[in-house]
Chain A
């Protein structure tokens, strides 16, 4: 499982170069605190909250009550009743059979089980094709536009890739303007549509523009849509077909953006979006709140779609590779 940008981005034959981008500080003047301090802080929030539930003595006793408390803690983290029962059941069996002995070993094994669950599927972001088309989808309000903006900046900074943004959210009022602002901040080019214009047409234009200019990556921001809206899901499938037709293959990556506060409905979202456009990864956003994002474990476990990126703040640099072990450890509270 990749834990750094260099490991996460699969560049193929491309030589990674240090990107020439506007520093984050210039774009976000007041967000000057060190990135690591902020990450530590944001993860500490989750840890604190769950750690409180899982007191250290819990793993010492390992009696019926302890297992129940453990289940409770995972359910409270939105891992979901089914996935929780599976993980806790497995750990319980391993402890009973004597394969895992002692509180510390049980805790470590739990982290391992959760991390394994979170790392199902291919963990890298495939950017080998030129241009590599990355389609970003999700329900309303999860942070698609923001994530696209941040990702554009990181691709340029971490690997020196030139990015073409496609503002294909032609539905929400002012969504195109919002992405336009992010394009400015990230210093990349953007193909915009008029509100109400066909999303497929914008995508077509963006790919053509990327080819003409030799851009490495086309990042497509789509309109948020509830997965229950058949007509809108059909429109999304059409966007994918447009890509297929235009470049002779599907997108290199299709990322679904899931809000960490999402409950069990997240599983349905991932399933339905995946049926429509073959989702290859999850971007888990808003992890800087108190929500623990346990739904990502359920998605990875049940659908085999791994988390690839996490959003941990509002600043342009606050997007980073997902570290399954660190995430699981934060859930359990090491």
Chain B
């Protein structure tokens, strides 16, 4: 996400960073680059203008140029301003003191409301909340069926009444049901509507009036261009939404719309949606995202994810084994499963500092989760003895494992070879000689080039 914007900014800034001394002209040149990078990233024209002016003023005005490491200081200014632009230190959903908390979803057609509704339901289910979703999109053909299917997958109670009733009535009825059934959260999905369609905007305002939502979320497609700001302003007028859920950030869209909406409406981005799977929804942390854009990684999110998804005692046991050089393929399998619990590989790796470049290579090498499926299949086709001591795997065993896992002899050979290298690397780590994270991950995953 934000890949290309991040790449351009990083290029411009590393140029600055490498200089010992900066002149005003250097800064101006960098600012022109940044302006173009932001415009190409669909950051609103007016927001871009102001951003560049602000950064320039701070970089030139406050003695930065005379400081010891001016390049680094400019990077710091850009980082701070970016985080500020995206919404300071972030905001949380507001939960009602008396359940159910009502969340109303709004947005243009095709922005991804129905998917976002289901994802948010799944996300909140993960926090042990009883969640219901109300199907109030009676406009688009089969939207109710879509939410019914996705809602059930997310483990939410689905409140649907077909498409003949008035959406306002359905919302009110669903709220009554959710209250009676003692749910913690009710998420109301609504029809996509144009911000200039007065009739539908009035309907949205009416749903808001009757259900008194605690949070109104505007769903904005990350690929939106300059118009994002118009849309956000109009929706703000009709519903006074509280925050933004940015969808489809998994493409190579530079997400400039995300940067602009906050700047213009003052409403923060709460969540970002990054894929087609229901679990691919993340809390949005502006400061961390700014760092990620600048290639500083997002260790905090990674740690949080790890804490949430990993089994600590198992991890400690694995660590002990690594240190004592008792790590077996069985342990590797466990480790693999733990990493996979955290979500698709590329999204996990994107958070590791310094992995930006390696990530690109991984993507070029088509490293995907299927590769991990293959690794798992191979290990599962081994006997306990083979897993404990891979050295015994020779010709006929290799053929058996390859046949059992639907792979080939070369793949099995590669796995045992890489496992061997990995053990050596662990020994080095245990003895204090730490290899770079990039080489480690490449070694572990056995990146293939096609």
Query: Which residues of B lie under 8 Å from residue A142 when comparing CB positions?
Result: 110
**What's the least CB distance linking B276 to chain A, in Å?**
8
In Å, the complex CA distance between A80 and B41 comes to 10
A265 engages B150 (CB within 8 Å) = no
Identify which of A182, A228, A268 contacts B250 (C-beta below 8 A): A228
Q: Chain B, 135-152, contact with A by CB distance < 8 Å: what is the 0/1 string?
A: 000011111011011100
Does A289 lie at the interface of the complex (its beta carbon under 8 Å from any beta carbon of B)?
yes
CB-CB nearest in chain A for B111: A141
Which residues from 25 to 74 on chain B have a C-beta closer than 8 Å to any C-beta of chain A? 36, 39-42, 45
Query: Which residues of A lie under 8 Å from residue B286 when comparing CB positions?
Result: none
Interface bin, chain B: 35 or more
Query: Which residues of B lie under 8 Å from residue A254 when comparing CB positions?
Result: none
Interface SS of chain B: loop
Query: Which residues of B lie under 8 Å from residue A269 when comparing CB positions?
Result: 223
B112 engages A140 (CB within 8 Å) = yes
In Å, the complex CA distance between A227 and B248 comes to 11
In Å, the complex CA distance between A76 and B40 comes to 11
B223 engages A292 (CB within 8 Å) = no
B141 engages A261 (CB within 8 Å) = no
B224 engages A290 (CB within 8 Å) = no
Does B339 lie at the interface of the complex (its beta carbon under 8 Å from any beta carbon of A)?
no
B142 engages A177 (CB within 8 Å) = yes
B252 engages A265 (CB within 8 Å) = yes
Identify which of A49, A174, A177, A264 contacts B225 (C-beta below 8 A): A264
A139 engages B146 (CB within 8 Å) = no
Identify which of B143, B196, B224 contacts A262 (C-beta below 8 A): B224
A263 engages B42 (CB within 8 Å) = yes
Which residues from 255 to 271 on chain A have a C-beta closer than 8 Å to any C-beta of chain B? 259-266, 268-269
B223 engages A265 (CB within 8 Å) = yes
Q: Chain A, 147-186, contact with B by CB distance < 8 Å: what is the 0/1 string?
A: 0000000000000000000000001111101101110000
B368 engages A139 (CB within 8 Å) = no
Q: Chain B, 217-253, contact with A by CB distance < 8 Å: what is the 0/1 string?
A: 0000101111110110000000000000000101111
CB-CB nearest in chain B for A172: B146
A140 engages B145 (CB within 8 Å) = no
**What's the least CB distance linking B419 to chain A, in Å?**
27
CB-CB nearest in chain B for A81: B39
Q: A80-B40, A178-B141 are in contact. Are A141 and B227 (CB under 8 A)?
A: no
Q: A141-B111, A173-B146, A228-B252 are in contact. Are A264 and B42 (CB under 8 A)?
A: yes
**What's the least CB distance linking A39 to chain B, in Å?**
15
**What's the least CB distance linking A8 to chain B, in Å?**
24
A174 engages B40 (CB within 8 Å) = no
In Å, the complex CA distance between A187 and B41 comes to 42
In Å, the complex CA distance between A15 and B333 comes to 66
Does B254 lie at the interface of the complex (its beta carbon under 8 Å from any beta carbon of A)?
yes
Query: Which residues of A lie under 8 Å from residue B24 when comparing CB positions?
Result: none
Does B124 lie at the interface of the complex (its beta carbon under 8 Å from any beta carbon of A)?
no
B227 engages A291 (CB within 8 Å) = yes
Does A78 lie at the interface of the complex (its beta carbon under 8 Å from any beta carbon of B)?
yes
Query: Which residues of B lie under 8 Å from residue A219 when comparing CB positions?
Result: none
B196 engages A290 (CB within 8 Å) = yes
B254 engages A265 (CB within 8 Å) = yes
B141 engages A141 (CB within 8 Å) = no
In Å, the complex CA distance between A49 and B196 comes to 12
Query: Which residues of B lie under 8 Å from residue A231 when comparing CB positions?
Result: 368
Which has the most chain B C-beta neighbours within 10 Å: A142, A262, A266? A262
A177 engages B45 (CB within 8 Å) = no
In Å, the complex CA distance between A228 and B276 comes to 13
Does B361 lie at the interface of the complex (its beta carbon under 8 Å from any beta carbon of A)?
no
In Å, the complex CA distance between A156 and B88 comes to 54
Does A288 lie at the interface of the complex (its beta carbon under 8 Å from any beta carbon of B)?
yes
Query: Which residues of A lie under 8 Å from residue B227 when comparing CB positions?
Result: 78, 260-261, 289-292
A141 engages B248 (CB within 8 Å) = yes
Query: Which residues of B lie under 8 Å from residue A139 when comparing CB positions?
Result: 223, 248, 251
Does B426 lie at the interface of the complex (its beta carbon under 8 Å from any beta carbon of A)?
no
**What's the least CB distance linking B32 to chain A, in Å?**
11
In Å, the complex CA distance between A81 and B145 comes to 42
Which residues from 70 to 109 on chain A have a C-beta closer than 8 Å to any C-beta of chain B? 72, 75-78, 80-81
In Å, the complex CA distance between A226 and B221 comes to 12
Identify which of B111, B142, B196 contacts A174 (C-beta below 8 A): B142
Does A230 lie at the interface of the complex (its beta carbon under 8 Å from any beta carbon of B)?
yes
In Å, the complex CA distance between A295 and B226 comes to 10
A289 engages B194 (CB within 8 Å) = yes
Which residues of A does B touch, CB under 8 Å? 45, 49, 72, 75-78, 80-81, 139-143, 171-175, 177-178, 180-182, 226-228, 230-231, 259-266, 268-269, 286, 288-292, 294-295, 314
In addition to A261-B221, A265-B253, 16 A-B residue pairs with Cβ atoms within 8 Å of each other are A75-B45, A80-B40, A81-B39, A139-B223, A178-B142, A180-B142, A230-B366, A231-B368, A261-B231, A262-B223, A264-B40, A265-B254, A268-B252, A286-B108, A289-B194, A291-B225
Which residues of B does A touch, CB under 8 Å? 36, 39-42, 45, 108-112, 139-143, 145-146, 148-150, 194-196, 221, 223-228, 230-231, 248, 250-254, 256-257, 276, 366, 368
